Structure 1
């Protein structure tokens, strides 16, 4: 019962901190989410331009046997597992003690990586439309060509999710690999389990092979995604301010309000902001995220994040 109360108190305080961050950054988060729709709209639009034709010669198709329509769900199932696992992990600071980041700030970075990669993807697949290798994009399939839209509403609704699953023409480069690699790279930097980091890269490789085997993309779509997303994350990450350090010596990210200045709640709030657990028995310091030490360095980073500035 005591542990349940402590956990509930921790969740409540962590939620209050994240809500304050959300009020500061909601516009950027909303912009990133809206762009996900724009990306889907662009992919739907290129389907109207798609013209089926002979499947291009592809090294991956020569090596990997086709899974076929009946087993095409395998790659989608693995992607769903990757997506849901990452989302759950980003919210684990609400429950577990090993807090190395703020969830709102982490998703800001993730959306920045996704948007930059998706902009490049839209440019490339509109530049040249390749004949889709998937079974529903081949000559003779009723889904290979989209009839001209009857209204603007038909285009804007993008027939979700069917229009996304059975899209054609948005090939170079793979959207599934954008999400997969962004998630893996993010966990590789902010995650704490070495085995899971290794496993994540293995899963990314398996996902690449399954996409080719299911003929959802050409091999070039996967190859381009691997080096493009890695480069995008590398350069964007250099431009963004470092995540605040939640170790015991850091300054609080946000000021306390009047309610939080009273007694035990204030003490708990300080502990959680600074990366400590509410349980007094747990005195271990949090592992630093950005490798910088000292109150001054972290205070600078914290202020830059809250104020929305970028340190070049």
Structure 2
């Protein structure tokens, strides 16, 4: 077997071990993942529902519209491109443990935390945009556009079915920006659990640029973006305080998460830790030390406390 074949074999073994690990974690936490996906659908239904109430009108006076030049309808895709880049980059990063050796996170557990933050922010968002419907500043929401209002639905299926056109041409769900919710939650998550300082700085800069592009594209009022900045950051801050911290996968504490919380498991891990055993294989299901603090850029961690972690 050549060198390349040996490397391929090691890679497939790593992918298989990681897949087995994540499947076991998914078996324990599937309710949180499923609940998060269902809530994304409910949020989409709420955004479509408010479109039925939207009535076009004169665009409100806005400081951002005065300060930032209008990109125009033909360049509206620029902000969507930046958002798509942030969205896909974060998804790829959450799955990097399947490929790379430097494993800092568990994919399932990261997405459980992400969904918790998204759901809390989206609940606040739905309450806000149903409280007051503002005339949409986007081009398809203005007077004279056929997409500005939705006709009464003929049947329930039309209400429950979310089509891509409805997502792209929605109106009325303004305060606060959904694009900013996703972007800020993703960037804050990477800032806490990522390891590359330069990429963290680039991520924050990208979100700032996206904020300006959203306003310049007239997709949201400035207040929609401003409210998103402080609301999402506060929500993520308080949720992080409430949820148990994720385990670290590096150093002497590189033990896998427990699949059960019985006393025998706890006693077994205490004995193994005292004897200095550690591992990162799919077959070695032992709880690990819990980390209370973010992962530093150089791979070290701060303030380690012993304990069994959860999501």
Normalised-by-shorter TM-score class: 0.7 to 0.9
Q: Choose which of 153, 156, 170 in structure 2 pairs with 1:152.
A: 156
Q: 2:38 aligns with which of 34, 38, 58?
A: 34
Matched, 1:202 2:205: yes
Deviation at 1:2, TM superposition (A): 1.3
**Aligned with residue 181 of structure 2, among 174, 178, 183:** 178
Which of residues 233, 236, 240 is equivalent to 1:233?
Answer: 236
Single out whichever of 62-71 and 195-204 deviates more from structure 2: 62-71
| Equivalence map 1:159-308=2 (5 Å) | 160-250=163-253, 251-254=255-258, 269=281, 287-289=299-301, 291-293=302-304, 297-298=305-306, 300=307, 303-305=308-310
What residue is the counterpart of 1:278 in the other structure? none
Q: Is the 8 A contact 2:28 2:259 kept in 1?
A: no
2:65 equivalent to 1:61 = yes
1:143 lines up with 2:147 in the alignment: yes
> Is the 1:45–1:155 Cα contact (8 Å) retained in structure 2?
yes
Q: CA deviation at 1:6?
A: 1.0
Question: Contact 2:36–2:119 (CA<8 Å) still a contact in 1?
Answer: yes
Q: Is the 8 A contact 2:247 2:309 kept in 1?
A: no
How far off its partner does 1:304 sit?
A: 3.4
2:116 is aligned, of 109, 112, 115, to 112
After superposition, the Cα gap between the structure-2 partners of 1:272 and 1:161, relative to the gap in structure 1 and judged at 3 Å, is: farther
Cα distance in 2 for partners of 1:50, 1:164 equals 15
The 1-side partners of 2:175 and 2:242 are apart by 26
Matches of 1:202 and 1:127, distance apart in 2: 32
Normalised by the length of structure 2, the TM-score is 0.85
Q: Is the 8 A contact 2:21 2:282 kept in 1?
A: no
> Cα gap change, 1:27/1:268 in structure 2, threshold over 3 Å: closer, same or farther?
closer
Alignment gaps of 5+ in structure 2 = 261-277, 287-297
For residue 254 of structure 1, report the CA deviation from its aligned partner: 3.3
Shift of 1:50: 0.3
SS in 2 for 1:241: coil
Worse-superposed segment, 69-78 or 167-176: 69-78
For 2:13 and 2:181, the matched residues in 1 are separated by 37
Once the two structures are TM-superposed, the CA of residue 69 in structure 1 deviates from its matched residue by 1.4
Large movers: runs of 4+ above 3 Å: 270-274
1:262 counterpart residue number = none
Structure 1, unpaired ranges of 5+: 257-265, 275-285
Note the alpha carbon deviations across 1:188-229, whole angstroms, 9 max, x for none. Answer: 000000000000010000000010011000000000000000
Residue in structure 2 matched with residue 132 of structure 1 by the alignment: 136
Root mean square deviation, CA, Å: 2.0
Quick one: structure 1 residues 255 and 139, their matched pair in 2 at CA, closer, same or farther if it must change by over 3 Å? closer
**CA deviation after TM superposition for structure 1 residue 98, in Å:** 1.4
Note the C-alpha offset of 1:244.
Answer: 1.2
- Range with greater deviation from structure 2 (75-84 or 240-249): 240-249
Do the aligned partners of residues 218 and 8 (structure 1) sit closer, same or farther apart at CA in structure 2, a change above 3 Å counting?
Answer: same
